[in-house]
Amino acid sequence: MLADACGSAGHVPAVLDRFEADVCGGWSELMDHLCPRLDTAFSASFAALPRLAGLASSRRGEERQYVVQAAGAIVACVVSGDDVFEDFSAPIAVLHRLVDESLHETPGADSYVELVQCLLAFEGVERWDRCLEGLNAGEYEVDCPYCGVGLFIVLRDDACFAASGDYALREVATTPLRPSVPGELAGLGERLYVRAVGDGQHRVARGLTYLFGEGDCPDCGTGFSVADRVVGC
Ligand SMILES: [Zn+2]
């Protein structure tokens, strides 16, 4: 028996029908049932992946993005060791190909970052399938790895810095972040940077050099990898 956020999932086909009839307008209702708060998925959520893959295939532009993001949010909830990637490998492969194509269509920077998160979710990359979107907000909250003080990592077009305390409310100590030199990036940071440049997303690419760069705690001076703090290593 399939379940969703409301219990028995008997009504999910009707919710999917309404979503199909009005993708943009039906998105919230669909997520309320299949992925509330975008952080919990249910058996009915995974069972909906084939239908979402088919729907995404039949749509273009913004409507495809809505469908892909619904599926991406669901797949981002899969924990390692779960059978979802095995059981739904075919629709996940379709969704991965579609989001890969959508990235070439150069959506705005915010949509681009959300779609990259979906791409990573469909690949089973944990944490960054949720953590990348701090690039859109321009801010992460982390802890210093040595003294434990709460830090804001601020990634803005005009300044990228670490602040100990709420820099928006009062004057606090800050230190500039040190971006990675693109040629020295490695692993996921390198891959995402190269991809963003190739997709013409230069603002995102610049943010990635700071996100996969280094910072120093304004309170104790300890250096740290920004990306490691963001994913809680
Ligand atoms: Zn510190």
- Are 39 and 77 in contact by the 8 Å Cβ rule? The answer is yes
Q: Please give the C-alpha separations between residue 8 and each of 4, 52, 117, 138, 150, in angstroms, as whole numbers.
A: 6, 20, 29, 39, 42
Distance 149 CA to ligand 1 centre (A): 6
Containing 141, the helix (H) or strand (E) segment is strand 139-143
CA 176 to ligand 1 center in whole angstroms? 14
Q: What is the model's pLDDT at position 72?
A: 97
Dihedral (CA of 145, 40, 60, 54) sign: positive
How far apart, in whole angstroms, are the C-alpha atoms of residue 27 and residue 71?
11
Ligand 1 center from residue 187 Cα (angstroms):
26
167 alpha carbon to ligand 1 midpoint, in Å? 16
Cβ contact 116:132 at 8 Å: yes
* Residues paired with 142 in a beta bridge: 151
Q: How far is the CA of 210 from the centre of ligand 1 (A)?
A: 19
Other Cβ atoms closer than 10 A to 212: 24
Alpha-carbon span 38 to 139, nearest angstrom: 19
Chain segment 53-63, per-residue pLDDT in tens: 999 999 998 99
Give residue-wise pLDDT tens across range 151-186: 999 999 999 999 998 888 888 999 999 999 989 999
| pLDDT at residue 233 greater than cutoff 70 | no
- Give me ligand 1 centre to Cα 142, in Å: 11
pLDDT at 122 over 70: yes
Query: Among the residues of 49-88, which ranges form H helices?
Result: 49-58, 61-75, 84-87
Pairing verdict, β 160-164 and 174-176: antiparallel
Q: What is the mean pLDDT of residues 27-45?
A: 94
